[in-house]
Each structure stands twice: as C-alpha cells, then as structure tokens.
Amino acid sequence: MLSIDLSGKRAFIAGVADDGGFGFAIAKALAEAGCKVSVGTWPPAMGIFETLLSRGKIDEARKLSDGSLLGFELVVPFDADFDAMELVPEEIKSNRRYRERGDFTISGAAKTCVEKLGEQPFDVVVHALANGPEVKNPLLQTSRKGYLAAMGASAYSFVSLLQHFGPLTKPGGSFLNLTYLAAERVVPGYGGGMSSAKAALESDTRVLAYEAGRKWGHRVNSISAGPYASRAASAIGFIQKMIDYYAHASPLPGELGADEVAHTAAFLASPLASGITGTVIHVDRGYSAMAVPHDLDSLITPIMAKKEG
C-alpha cells in the first residue's frame, strides 16, 4: 500500500506558538507519518506556549491517531525579523520577553538546533509565519516602514531560513512555505504590503528552488491555503467573512480544514513528491479556479434592478 512514511526523518517548523494554526496542524501531520518535529516560536509568545504544553492545556489537540501526544524535540526562540544578534536593537534585547531567551535570531535558532541535535539534523523545514503591522491599512495608506516590515517578516525570512537551515538539512531535503491568493489577485482589506509580501514569497520560492536544488538537492515549494481562522489570521479583521464566502463559492463547498493543508504539506515533505519543486499548490477547495461566483445571477440581479429603478 502506498503511504506517506517519514519514519526516521526530522522537521523544523518556524512559526508555531499555539494549537490553532497551519503550523501546528502540519507538525501533527508530520508526526503522524513518523517524523520527529522541532519548532521555532516567537519569543513574546513562547512563555504562554510552554505553559500550554506543560499544563496539558492543549493535550486534546496534540492527540495522535494512536492515542499518543504530539511532542516536540525542541522548542526554540525564533524571531523572523532578525538574522543575527548584532542586528537586534538594544530595546528588543533588553525587553523582558526576550532577554532570557538567548539567541532568538534565525541564525541563533540554527546554532541551537545543531548544538542539541547534531550536524545536518533535518530533512524537512517549514516556514509557517507572516506578519504585517499595517495589514488593516489599504496599500495607499501603508507607510514605507509598515510595507518593509511586512516584506521582511513574511518574505525575506524564508530566504534567511534557506540560508541558515539549508546547510543543516540533509541533501534532498524539503522546504515549504505558506502563501495566499492575494499574491495573485486583489483581496480588498488584506493590506499593509502583505499581498506584495506573498507575491515576493512565491517568486522567491521559484528562485530558491533553482538555487537550493543545484546547491544541496533540496526541493522548495509553497502551499497557497484558503482562509482559516487561526489566531494570526484573525488580525485582518474579516477572516470569518472570507471563510464563509469561500465555503459558499468554492467547487467543493464547505470550510477548509487545517488538516487538508497539513496533509498536503506531509505529501510535499515525502519522497512521493520527489519530482515537485518550485511550485505553488493551491489548497483552497478549488476556490482559486473560479473566475466568477457560481451564483452570479443572484448578485447581478439586484444591481440591475437598482439601475433600472
């Protein structure tokens, strides 16, 4: 029987801080396939995440099909805004949520993983994070600082992840990021430069697939996921409306499940996807295939009636 088997493999997932997002769902799917998982967590959220784990608050969400609980080999501090400690402003270093976390930069996370797990510990690396401080602002009202912040945290951080974790990943490894349809089409309300960051992320996926493929034999892919009510996605303010609309308008009606994205990630991480790289795979129940809503008449009729009146 053909199945996804990641026994003996190790994965690092950047961007897991609770049990509610795609990153956690991907961690679960990889673990179900036999993979050992480490995660990188944003330092300000790390204390809460560690408490949730130690007190069993998310044990139900961590439950695997065999009754065991999803465990993490490592939970390391990971701030996607910074590549090295010498680039971190002093006010961040001295912040109480950071100062006891050691080296929380991307290069620091890489060093910690090598120290704890040995040379080239990983087979799979997942970028499951994004941030746009002005995401609620229309692009015309987005500042240069907000725009560049979105690009840095949401797009360049994946480049940096390849730079630092590429050498830590065994030849033939799988790198994966998460994008959104706003990279290709207009999504009113998804602002602050986030649509630009997602477009950059998809372009970088193709370039990095070439560069990392030739250098290390790694595959680099992207999943364009439909809307999902994670805590991070709720920041845009209209996520439930998007979920409801997708569920109504998609070829496969109904809400997208995090497991549908996670299972695709597990496939892309496996040898079954050995010939796939430089690709953006839409996991949105087919919404991206639609040019117009299936109930176009019901939308147009009131508009026409108003014009005629």
pLDDT of residue 304: 59
Average pLDDT over residues 121-137: 97
> Which band of pLDDT confidence, cut at 50, 70 and 90, is reported for residue 306?
low
Residue percentage of the chain with pLDDT more than 70: 94
> Which band of pLDDT confidence, cut at 50, 70 and 90, is reported for residue 8?
very high
Are residues 6 and 31 in contact, defined by beta-carbon separation less than 8 angstroms?
no
Interatomic CA distance for residues 125 and 297, integer angstroms: 45
Look up 180 and say whether it is catalytic: yes
Per-residue model confidence as pLDDT tens digits over 19-29: 999 999 999 99
Average pLDDT over residues 295-306: 66
Kindly state the tokens that stand for 299: 């939308």
Per-residue model confidence as pLDDT tens digits over 132-161: 999 999 999 999 999 999 999 999 999 999
| Among 98, 147, 180, 287, the one annotated catalytic | 180
Arch. (CATH architecture) of 10-308: 3-Layer(aba) Sandwich (3.40)
DSSP codes, 113-158: HHHHH-SS-EEEEEE-----TTTTS-GGG--HHHHHHHHIIIIIHH
Segments making up each domain of the chain, as ranges: 10-308
Number of H helices, E strands in the chain: 11, 7
Contacts with 26 (C-beta within 8 Å, 6 or more apart), sequence order: 13, 126, 128, 261, 262, 265, 266
Kindly state the tokens that stand for 28: 């679960």
For the chain, the average pLDDT equals 94
Question: How far, CA to CA in Å, does 166 sit from each of 7, 54, 80, 173, 242?
Answer: 21, 31, 16, 8, 35
| Among 147, 190, 228, 287, the one annotated catalytic | 190
Kindly state the tokens that stand for 125: 């690396």
Average pLDDT over residues 20-49: 97
Average pLDDT over residues 83-107: 96
The beta-strand segments (E) located in the chain are 10-14, 36-41, 75-77, 122-127, 169-179, 219-225, 280-283
Average pLDDT over residues 86-110: 96
pLDDT of residue 300: 62
pLDDT of residue 305: 62
236 pLDDT higher than 90: no
